[in-house]
């Protein structure tokens, strides 16, 4: 059985991206995949700086997350978009992981998700992440962004049939990369 590690790039306790992630995880075939969701806030290191690294090395939280990631066959990251870009919270963690080992995704499949209350749904950030995570040897195997979260996501699920189909297709594309 293949193992998937899932987390959100948000440090907000009521993240709408976490809500979409939880719903997406419900769509994955549990007979074929074991899914573990973690709270990335449990692995939040100090802000990256060369002085910090020189004086104290790679943070223990980063080493712990890196070692955890090695036990999985693929990843799902749901990331909010902050001002058209990556949230500083997620960027800092990814930057530290890359200081530990540049190609820390090791060619494993990665599904990227995003949502917002705007019409873009975080597409700008998803596009940036999809391109930049290749640098870290991620096999980006699907993306999905849900626009107009408050209208299209209610009672813990996507209400819009067209959006639901798009999410299911992204998950299918991602899970097919495991065969």
Domains and CATH numbers, the chain: 2-176 (3.40.50.360)
pLDDT given at position 13: 92
The per-residue pLDDT for 179 is 67
Distances (CA, A) of 89 to 4, 37, 82, 172: 22, 18, 10, 29
Q: How confident is the model at residue 124 (pLDDT cuts 50, 70, 90)?
A: very high
Dump pLDDT digits (tens) for 150-174: 999 999 999 999 999 999 999 999 9
pTM to 2 decimal places = 0.96
Determine the Cα–Cα distance for residues 177 and 173; give it in Å rounded to an integer. 7
Average pLDDT over residues 129-139: 97
- What digits encode the pLDDT tens for the residues 10-62? 999 999 999 999 999 999 999 999 999 999 999 999 999 999 999 999 999 99
Residue 149 confidence class, pLDDT cut points 50, 70, 90: very high
pLDDT digits (tens, 9 = 90+) for 35-49: 999 999 999 999 999
Mean pLDDT for all residues in the chain: 96
Residue 120 has pLDDT above 70, yes or no: yes
Rg, C-alpha atoms of the chain: 16
Measured CA to CA, the distance from residue 58 to residue 26 in angstroms comes to 34
Distance (Å, whole) CA 129 – CA 126: 5
| Beta carbons of 171 and 111 less than 8 angstroms apart | yes
Residues in Cβ contact with 137 at an 8 Å cutoff, skipping those fewer than 6 apart: 102, 103, 104, 105, 106, 107
């Amino acid at each position: 059985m293949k193992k998937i590690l899932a987390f959100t790039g948000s440090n907000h306790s009521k993240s709408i991206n976490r809500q979409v992630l939880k719903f997406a995880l419900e769509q994955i075939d549990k007979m074929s995949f074991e899914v573990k969701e973690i709270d990335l806030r449990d692995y939040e290191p100090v802000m990256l700086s060369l002085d910090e690294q020189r004086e104290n090395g790679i943070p223990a939280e980063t080493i712990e997350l890196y070692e955890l990631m090695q036990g999985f066959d693929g990843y799902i990251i749901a990331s909010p978009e902050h001002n058209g870009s990556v949230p500083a919270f997620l960027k800092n963690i990814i930057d530290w992981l890359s200081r530990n080992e540049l190609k820390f995704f090791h060619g494993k499949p990665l599904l990227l998700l995003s949502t917002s209350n705007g019409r873009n749904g975080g597409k700008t950030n998803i596009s940036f992440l999809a391109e930049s995570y290749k640098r870290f040897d991620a096999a980006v195997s699907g993306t999905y962004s849900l626009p107009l979260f408050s209208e299209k996501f209610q009672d813990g699920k996507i209400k819009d049939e067209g959006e639901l189909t798009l999410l299911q297709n992204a998950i299918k594309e991602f899970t097919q990369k495991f065969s």
